[in-house]
Amino acid sequence: MIKNDLFLRALKGETVDRPPVWMMRQAGRYLPEFMEIKKKYDFFTRCQTPELASEITVQPIRRYGMDAAILFSDILVIPQAMNIEVEMKPNFGPYLPNPIRTSKDLESVIVPDINSTLGYVMDAIKMTKEKLNDDIPLIGFAGSPWTILCYCVQGQGSKTFDKAKEFCFTNPVAAHQLLQKITDTTIAYLKEKVKAGVNAVQVFDSWGGMLSPTDYQEFSWQYIQQIIDALKDEAPVIAFGKGCWFALGDMAKSGASALGVDWTCSARNARYLTGGNITLQGNFDPSRLLSPPEDIKKMVHQMINEFGKDKYIVNLGHGILPNIPLENAKAFIDAVKEYKAN
C-alpha cells in the first residue's frame, strides 16, 4: 500500500483535503544535485543506467516532498528502440542524423521487443520503487505518437515542425504507418512499465498544438486514444496536450483518468470544455516560478480555488525551466501543502 496516495485518489476523483502536487520535469536540470551527475555522464547514459535514472528520479522528492515521483527518462528512447538513431547534442538538443522522410526510410523502422531494447527502463523503475519504499506513487511516461513523429521526421527540435507536417500532408499513408508503429511500440512499452511497478502513466503530446483541430484528430488524437484504450484498465492514464485546449472535449470522453492543461487555458474554460467531471492537472506557467516566492504562493492558492480542490492535481503547464531558483520551486510545492479550503 502506498502511504501517501493523494495523487492516486485525485486520479479517481475522490474527495481530498488538499490537491496533490508534482512538477513536470521535476527530476532534472534545475537541481544542483542533478547538475553534479550531468557533469559526469552524458544524457542517454543517465537514461540508460538504472542506478543513475533512479537516483535522479528521487532527488526532488528528497528535497521537496512532492506527492508523486516521475521516472527520469526521455520520450526519445522509443525511436531509439525502433532502430532510429537519436543523439542528444549539448547546447542543441535532440538530433536524429537519419530522419524519416520517405516511405523507403520506413522500411528499417521496427516495432521492437521492449524488454530487449528498453529493459533498462524497467530496471530503473524497480530500483526507484525500492528507493521510494511505497511512500508515494511513481509515474511512467511516453511521448505521443505525433510528438515522436515530429522529431523522427524533422530530425531535431523546431518552432514549426514544418518538415514533419509536410511529410504528413504529402505522404499521409507513410505518416500513418509510422504513427501506428510508434503507437504499437508505446503501448507495449507502457504496459511493461506498469508491470515493472509504475502506478500511473502520462502521455505527453508536447507538439499537438502545432496542428489544426482537424489535423489533430487525424494525426495525433486517434493514436493517443489507442494508447488510452490499451492502458486504462491496467493503470490510470493522464493525457497532456500542450496547446490543445480545442480537443479537451474529446479528451474528456476518452477514458483517461486525468487531462493536463497548459497555462493558456483558464481553469474555468478547462472545466467547462471537459464537462466538469474529469480530474484536471496543471496549469501554472513555468516562467511564473521566476516570481517572488510570496507571489508564487498567492497565485498557487488562487489557482487551486479556481480549479477546485477535488478532481485536481497541481502542476505546471509544461516542464520546469532550468533557471528556476530552488526556493521558488519550494514555494510552489509548499503552497499546495499549506492549502486549506475556505
Per-residue pLDDT reduced to its tens digit, 13-71: 999 999 999 999 999 999 999 999 999 999 999 999 999 999 999 999 999 999 999 99
* Segment 209-247, tens digit of pLDDT: 999 999 999 999 999 999 999 999 999 999 999 999 999
Is 28 labelled as part of a ligand binding site? yes
In the chain, how long is the greatest CA-to-CA distance?
61
Q: What is the pLDDT of residue 36?
A: 98
**Cis preceding linkage at 4, omega within 30:** no
Q: Pairing relation of β-strands 312-316 and 93-95?
A: unpaired
pTM over 0.75: yes
Q: What angle do CA 189, 68, 90 make, to 5 degrees?
A: 65
Planar angle of CA 58, 193, 137, nearest 5 degrees: 40
The H or E element spanning position 237 is strand 237-241
Do the annotations mark residue 54 as ligand-binding? no
Q: Rg of the chain over CA atoms, in angstroms?
A: 19
To the question of whether residue 318 is assigned a binding role by annotation, the answer is: yes
> For 148-175, what is the mean pLDDT?
98
- End-to-end Cα separation, the chain, in angstroms: 31
25 is in an annotated binding site: yes
The domain segmentation of the chain, as residue ranges, is: 6-278
Which residue type does 266 have?
S
Query: Is 27 assigned a ligand-binding role in the annotation?
Result: yes
| 29 annotated as ligand-binding | yes
Give CA 72 to chain center in angstroms. Answer: 11
What pLDDT is stored for residue 87 in this prediction? 97
Torsion of CA 76, 82, 83, 86, to 10 degrees: -10
Residue type, 214: T
What proportion of the chain, given as a percentage, has pLDDT over 90? 99
CB atoms within 10 A of CB 2: 16
151 is in an annotated binding site: yes
**340 or 153, greater pLDDT:** 153
Tell whether residue 74 is among the known ligand binding residues.
yes
Q: Report the CATH number of the 6-278 domain.
A: 3.20.20.210
> What pLDDT, in 10s, does the model give residues 108-132?
999 999 999 999 999 999 999 999 9
Q: What is the pLDDT of residue 341?
A: 78
Q: Does residue 268 have a known ligand-binding role?
A: no
Alpha-carbon gap, residue 287 to 289, rounded angstroms? 5
Beta-bridge partner residues of 87 = 95
Is the pLDDT at 342 greater than 80, yes or no? Answer: no
Q: How far apart are CA 237 and CA 224, in angstroms?
A: 10
For position 39, what pLDDT does the model report?
A: 96
26 among annotated binding-site residues:
yes
DSSP 54-96: HHHHHHHHHHH--S-EE----TTHHHHHTT---EEETTTEEE-
